[in-house]
Amino acid sequence: MAKITLKGNPIKTIGKLPEIGKKAPKFKLVKTDLSTTKLKEFKGKKVLLNITPSIDTGICANSMRKFNEAASEFKDTVILHVSKDLPFAHSRFCAAEGISNVIPLSDFVKGKFGKRYGVTIKNGPMKGLLSRAVVVVNEEGLVTYTEQVPEIAQEPDYEAALEALK
């Protein structure tokens, strides 16, 4: 279980991020058109998972914007934004912000992604949402980088995450 904070107050997640060098856990998430997608659909590409509590917070929105800007620099790479937001919220945000290089995905149906990746918040006011984290998976499906952001009100280390895609 990861110990993180929300504005200095301790909270916990149900587990830990996947281990570097190990196979990334499978997932099935909902896209903005309500269809589903799985990790195996991105085989042969590098995948950056930008995991956030909710697109309706400033830091989460900013991380989607920053990764969207950077996405065009990377060949054979897909950037996925994962939260428990409804697909309608993702769609609204992407349309309003002109987001086209990041695929927003929702874990709202069963919450299995949060459990498999160890990012479901276990206690506190955000209980049940996903913690802020970044996971990079290589073309073979192996985890090559992880960051569990220690303070939910803090942005991820964009530079390190993007460097992991090179």
Catalytic residue IDs: 60
Q: Does residue 165 contact residue 149 with C-beta atoms inside 8 Å? A: no
C-alpha–C-alpha distance, residues 165 and 144, integer Å = 9
C-alpha–C-alpha distance, residues 132 and 81, integer Å = 11
